[in-house]
């Protein structure tokens, strides 16, 4: 049974970078008929906010990345305390007393001497008496003692990975104020929830190395890991600082279509071209994590507008019926309205002005030299109800009566009826115009 999870920290809004993680994990679970868990990593009480949890859920719902259940880390603190106790009992969790300033100074010294800034395990050499003295003056934090050996795994994207544990600092699992840190919480959850596959960003590779040892120390089963590359801007520039401006909720407000975004993200950085999918089932069927590469992935937000427009142009009526009804388009006109509108919009919001045009008409735009012609033509306009043949029949009759043809015939009529010199196919639009 495949079980995956998406584990955002509710300390901000989800952005396109998080979306890759969510989508890959969701696709793996759905493709295997498995379970997808939304895990809220909220062990940091100061930075975690309920409104971010709500927005994370709204974003995932908007995208159709539905989850089978939600787990909150803040509800599992007792479990983490038990795991910490187990690690202490096994001699794998040790008490440290360095202040951030002390650690910082040590790191700088190491770097100056050309050495990697790895924690020197000074705390392991403290006697009980020294520890007692330190305990009296400051709170202890707790580090996991890594076994100094190579940590190896077969990564679903990176291939074989091998990390020398001695090049990594023993990770802090519990802070001085007692707060359990993500590394321990995540391992406990992955074990307890039977997680089989973890996909996350390549910024977590070192975490993975340490977590592999923590899982083993707690007697857990190994997990399949895959680390996707991080997104960069179109020029290869780091996107991390700009990710705040690429929040999913903002893309949604800009009218980006969920399936356009998902289709893009399900292929970006893989060996396969982006293919627009209208349905999740197609997205699931075409997904293969082994097609993704380790190189940073270029992302250009401006691609999304074009993909969204293209998706809309090919979209079935059923997928927009609710939006059309919400605009107040009568049911008997709804399908014809969509058939007219879809090629003329970039986002769903573009339907509103088109419906206003149909419902209310516009102030006719008529050049002085066309005034007489337009008046004559309008007098010949067949009364409603009109159909797809009306425009052709009308303009043919007007052509015969006035001798005008081509652009000189059609353009003034379009401008008189729509106020614009380009726009929807007139034979589709004319039957929908309610005010003429």
Assess 59 for contact with ligand GLU (CB under 6 A). Answer: no
Query: Minimum distance from CB of 7 to ligand GLU (Å)?
Result: 4
**Pick 41 or 59: Cβ nearer ligand GLU:** 41
Query: Minimum distance from CB of 189 to ligand GLU (Å)?
Result: 9
**Pick 9 or 202: Cβ nearer ligand GLU:** 9
Stretch of residues binding ligand GLU (CB under 6 A), selected from 7-15, 113-121, 136-144, 238-246 = 7-15
Among 17, 38, 41, 398, binds ligand GLU (CB under 6 A): 41
**Pick 8 or 424: Cβ nearer ligand GLU:** 8
* Neighbour tally for 68: CB within 10 Å: 12
- Residue 192: CB partners within 8 Å, gap ≥ 6? 79
Q: Would you give the distance in Å from CA 320 to the centre of its chain? A: 22
Among 67, 119, 182, 373, binds ligand GLU (CB under 6 A): 182
Query: Minimum distance from CB of 182 to ligand GLU (Å)?
Result: 6
**Pick 185 or 354: Cβ nearer ligand GLU:** 185
**Pick 186 or 270: Cβ nearer ligand GLU:** 186
> Could you give the CA distance from residue 329 to residue 402 in angstroms, rounded to a whole number?
35
Assess 258 for contact with ligand GLU (CB under 6 A). Answer: no
> Could you give the CA distance from residue 136 to residue 138 in angstroms, rounded to a whole number?
6
Q: Name which of residues 186 to 205 contact ligand GLU (CB under 6 A).
A: 186, 200, 204
**Pick 9 or 179: Cβ nearer ligand GLU:** 9
Assess 269 for contact with ligand GLU (CB under 6 A). Answer: no
**Pick 8 or 269: Cβ nearer ligand GLU:** 8
Helix (H) or strand (E) holding 303: helix 302-313
Residue length of the chain:
436
Helix (H) or strand (E) holding 191: helix 182-192
Number of residues that bind ligand GLU (CB under 6 A): 8
Stretch of residues binding ligand GLU (CB under 6 A), selected from 4-12, 78-86, 267-275, 294-302 = 4-12
Stretch of residues binding ligand GLU (CB under 6 A), selected from 2-10, 140-148, 327-335, 406-414 = 2-10
Query: Minimum distance from CB of 193 to ligand GLU (Å)?
Result: 12
Query: Minimum distance from CB of 201 to ligand GLU (Å)?
Result: 7
Assess 7 for contact with ligand GLU (CB under 6 A). Answer: yes
Query: Taking the C-alpha atoms of 179, 181, 187 and 189 in order, what is their torsion angle to the nearest 10 degrees?
Result: 50
Closest C-alpha to 248, from 435, 68, 55, 46:
55
Closest C-alpha to 171, from 223, 206, 125:
206
Closest C-alpha to 414, from 365, 367, 371, 372:
365
**Residue whose structure tokens are 């705040």:** 244
Stretch of residues binding ligand GLU (CB under 6 A), selected from 6-14, 88-96, 384-392, 398-406 = 6-14
**Pick 92 or 204: Cβ nearer ligand GLU:** 204
Assess 8 for contact with ligand GLU (CB under 6 A). Answer: yes
**Pick 188 or 309: Cβ nearer ligand GLU:** 188
Q: Name which of residues 318 to 377 contact ligand GLU (CB under 6 A).
A: none
Residue 296: Cβ-neighbour burial (10 angstroms; 0-12, 13-18, 19+)? middle
Closest C-alpha to 293, from 274, 277, 271:
271
Q: Would you give the distance in Å from CA 386 to the centre of its chain? A: 45
Among 2, 9, 74, 202, binds ligand GLU (CB under 6 A): 9
What SS3 string covers 117-162? CCCCCHHHHCCHHHHHHHHHHCCCEEEECCCCCEEEEEECCCEEEE
Widest pairwise Cα distance in the chain: 109
Query: Minimum distance from CB of 30 to ligand GLU (Å)?
Result: 18
Query: Minimum distance from CB of 12 to ligand GLU (Å)?
Result: 10
What backbone phi and psi angles, to 5 degrees, belong to 416?
A: -65, -35
Q: List interacting residues with ligand GLU (CB under 6 A).
A: 7-9, 41, 182, 186, 200, 204
């Amino acid at each position: 049974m495949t079980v995956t999870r998406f584990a955002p920290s509710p300390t901000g809004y989800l952005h396109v970078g998080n979306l890759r993680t969510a989508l890959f994990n969701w696709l793996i679970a759905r493709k295997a008929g498995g379970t997808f868990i939304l895990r809220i990593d909220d062990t940091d009480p100061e930075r975690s906010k309920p409104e971010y949890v709500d927005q994370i859920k709204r974003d995932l719902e908007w995208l159709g990345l539905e989850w089978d259940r939600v787990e909150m880390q803040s509800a599992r603190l007792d479990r983490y305390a038990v795991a910490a106790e187990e690690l202490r009992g096994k001699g794998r969790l040790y008490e440290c007393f360095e202040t951030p300033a002390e650690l910082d100074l040590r790191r700088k010294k190491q770097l100056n001497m050309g050495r990697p800034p790895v924690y020197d395990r000074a705390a392991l050499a403290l006697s009980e008496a020294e520890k007692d003295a330190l305990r009296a003056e400051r709170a202890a934090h707790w580090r996991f003692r890594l076994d100094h050996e190579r940590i190896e795994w077969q990564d679903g994207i990176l291939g074989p990975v091998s990390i020398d544990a001695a090049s990594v600092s023993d990770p802090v699992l519990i802070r001085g104020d007692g707060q359990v840190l993500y590394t321990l919480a995540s391992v406990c959850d992955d074990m307890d929830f039977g997680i089989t596959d973890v996909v996350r960003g390549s910024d977590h590779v070192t975490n993975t190395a340490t977590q592999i040892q923590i899982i083993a120390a707690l007697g857990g089963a190994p997990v399949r890991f895959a680390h996707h590359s991080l997104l960069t801007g179109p020029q290869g520039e780091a996107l991390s600082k700009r990710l705040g401006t690429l929040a999913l909720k903002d893309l949604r407000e800009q009218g980006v279509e969920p399936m356009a975004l998902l289709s893009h993200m399900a292929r970006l950085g893989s060996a396969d071209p982006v293919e627009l999918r209208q349905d999740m089932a197609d997205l699931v069927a075409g997904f293969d994590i082994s097609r993704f590469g380790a190189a940073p992935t270029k992302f250009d937000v401006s691609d999304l507008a074009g993909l969204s427009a293209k998706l809309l142009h090919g979209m079935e009526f059923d997928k927009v019926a609710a939006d059309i009804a919400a605009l107040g388009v009568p049911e008997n006109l709804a399908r014809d309205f969509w058939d007219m509108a879809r090629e003329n919009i970039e986002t769903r919001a573009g339907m509103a002005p088109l419906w206003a045009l149909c419902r209310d008409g516009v102030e006719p735009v008529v050049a002085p030299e066309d005034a007489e012609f337009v008046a004559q033509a309008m007098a010949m306009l067949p009364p409603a109800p009109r159909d797809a043949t009306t425009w052709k029949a009308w303009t043919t009759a007007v052509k015969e009566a006035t001798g005008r043809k081509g652009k000189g015939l059609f353009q003034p009529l379009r401008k008189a009826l729509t106020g614009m010199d380009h726009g929807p196919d007139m034979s589709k639009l004319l039957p929908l115009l309610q005010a003429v």
